Structure 1
Amino acid sequence: MLKIFVSGCVFFPGLFFTFKHIFKTRFKNWKDADGALVSERMVSAIHAIMASTAGVLIVASCSDIMTDRHWLATDFVWFGAPYMAYDIYAMYQVHYLKEKDKGHAEYKGHSIHTVTKFLCKDFLFVLHHVALLTIFMPVSLFLRRGLGDFFIGCFFITELSTPFLSAGGVLIQMGLQDSTLHKINGLMLLLTFFLCRILLFPFMYWVYGRNYNVAFYKVALHLPLHCNLGNLCILAPQLYWFTLLCRKARRLFLQQHKKRDGQSPKTS
């Protein structure tokens, strides 16, 4: 397990710095923040593809949702855990370089102030990553007593929407925010986010009820309180982020509509 964990510690930061070097060499007109942003998005997409693929394999292999085992349910947690710590660092780098490129005097060097500003700006994302490291990782590796690989696979599948989120940022960086490809990507993001990060939770309750012959509306009463609270804590930010995505999609749609009518879109 240590080798798998160390591999993750090397793999994700290594990809990030490799992409940064490639983009710095290839796109001479990009600022440091541009290269860091696209690199962070690329690594996020790669991690998400790996996680969701592992999730599909685990879910497909488990006939009994509680007792069937799959080696990826443990190994990928060890491999993917370093990504959460790395991504906090990568998001901070993007934040720092963006503010530095704007010429803010306080961003001439790293300090407690720059870190605090980052934590305030991206608090929910950082909290999400920290919770995965401090709660999801110990539970999935040490506390579940080898039960529920199926549900670990389901949680991996929540990452399926991330490649579309990352692709949206890359397309904007490439100046393709008004392209048909960006619109299609936005629709895929909304669809996969809704299916894999919101509907996934009632799906898990439904599967549990079907396996144990419990009516769907009674499943929550058959589960320990900490399971329901844990699911609620994970679902709540997903609902918040989905609301933000819908608002952004609506705003972009209205802007495009005004452009077609020959009007200038309002500045958001």
Structure 2
Amino acid sequence: MLTALLCGAVVFPGLFFSFRKGLRDTFTHWSEADVVCVSERLVSAIHASLATAAGVTVVASCNDVMTDSHWLVNWFVLFGAPYMAFDIFAMYLSHYHTQRVRGHSSSLSGHSLQTVKAFLSKDWMLVLHHLALLLIFMPITLFFRRGLGDFFIGCLFTTEFSTPFVSVGKILIQLGLDDTRLHRINGVIILWSFFTCRILLFPFMYWMYGRQFGVPLHRVAFHLPLHCNVGNLAILAPQVYWFILLLRKAKRLYLRQSRGGGDGTGQKTD
């Protein structure tokens, strides 16, 4: 399993710095903020695609939702852990360079405790999400499950399905294509995939559990330990919050385009 951890520690930072150099050389008119932001989005899209593929593989291979296991679960958790840690750093870099472009004094003076505080104040929920996956989700998956529930871990991997479309939306904005049909179509896909794989996923998991054990969907929660329900609620709550943000951005986009303007739905949700 150490191999998976080392692979992740090499692959994701390597991709980020490779994209950063390639974009800087290709789009010479872009600011460093543009380069860093798009590089971070590209790596995010790659990680999310791999997570979705791993999740689908695990879910498809598990007939018993509680006892069937798949080697890919623990392997991918370890492989993805360095990404979660590195993405916090990449998000900070994106924030830092964006503030420098906007002329904020705290960033113009260089990296400091003040710039870190400003970043944490702005993106505290995303940082908390990443840290929770590293410090809570990973130990539970690796050490405390007693080999049970690989099916449900695979389902949680698939929540990343919407992330590549969110990244594509941000990149389209960066390329000046935010007032195109492609961007509008991508926005619809974001809303559909986010709602399906990050919100409807939870009643689906409860339904699958109930189907196996002969429990009606509305009674499943009462058959599960309290910590399982609380854990699911803790994961679901930020998804609902981010979905509301996406709906608001989509509404603003629609209103602006109906008036002949342009906007984007580039809010990062993972």
TM-score bracket for the superposition, by shorter chain length: over 0.9
* Separation in structure 2 between the aligned mates of residue 186 and residue 114 of structure 1, nearest angstrom: 31
Which residues of 2 match residues 186-197 of structure 1 at below 5 A?
186-197=187-198
Shift of 1:104: 2.4
1:121 equivalenced with 2:100 (yes/no): no
Which residues of 2 match residues 33-182 of structure 1 at below 5 A?
33-107=33-107, 108-182=109-183
Shift of 1:102: 2.0
Identity across matched positions, percent: 60
* Separation in structure 2 between the aligned mates of residue 246 and residue 105 of structure 1, nearest angstrom: 33
State the TM-score, normalizing by the size of structure 2.
0.95
Shift of 1:234: 0.5
Q: Which runs of 4+ in 1 moved over 3 A?
A: none
Q: Which runs of 5+ in 1 are unaligned?
A: none
* Separation in structure 2 between the aligned mates of residue 9 and residue 182 of structure 1, nearest angstrom: 33
Counterpart amino acid of residue 69 in structure 1: S
* Separation in structure 2 between the aligned mates of residue 265 and residue 46 of structure 1, nearest angstrom: 28
* Separation in structure 2 between the aligned mates of residue 106 and residue 220 of structure 1, nearest angstrom: 48
> Equivalent residue for 2:234?
233
* Separation in structure 1 between the aligned mates of residue 83 and residue 262 of structure 2, nearest angstrom: 38
Shift of 1:44: 0.3
> Equivalent residue for 1:212?
213
Shift of 1:105: 2.6
* Separation in structure 2 between the aligned mates of residue 106 and residue 166 of structure 1, nearest angstrom: 27
Q: Which runs of 5+ in 2 are unaligned?
A: 264-270
> Equivalent residue for 1:9?
9
State the TM-score, normalizing by the size of structure 1.
0.96
* Separation in structure 1 between the aligned mates of residue 138 and residue 56 of structure 2, nearest angstrom: 19
* Separation in structure 2 between the aligned mates of residue 109 and residue 152 of structure 1, nearest angstrom: 41
Q: Tell me the secondary structure at the aligned position of residue 126 of structure 2.
A: helix
Measured on the aligned residues, the alpha-carbon RMSD in Å equals 1.1
Q: Tell me the secondary structure at the aligned position of residue 69 of structure 1.
A: coil
* Separation in structure 1 between the aligned mates of residue 180 and residue 255 of structure 2, nearest angstrom: 15
* Separation in structure 2 between the aligned mates of residue 116 and residue 83 of structure 1, nearest angstrom: 22
Counterpart amino acid of residue 68 in structure 2: D
* Separation in structure 1 between the aligned mates of residue 190 and residue 152 of structure 2, nearest angstrom: 23
* Separation in structure 2 between the aligned mates of residue 175 and residue 199 of structure 1, nearest angstrom: 33
Aligned residues: 262
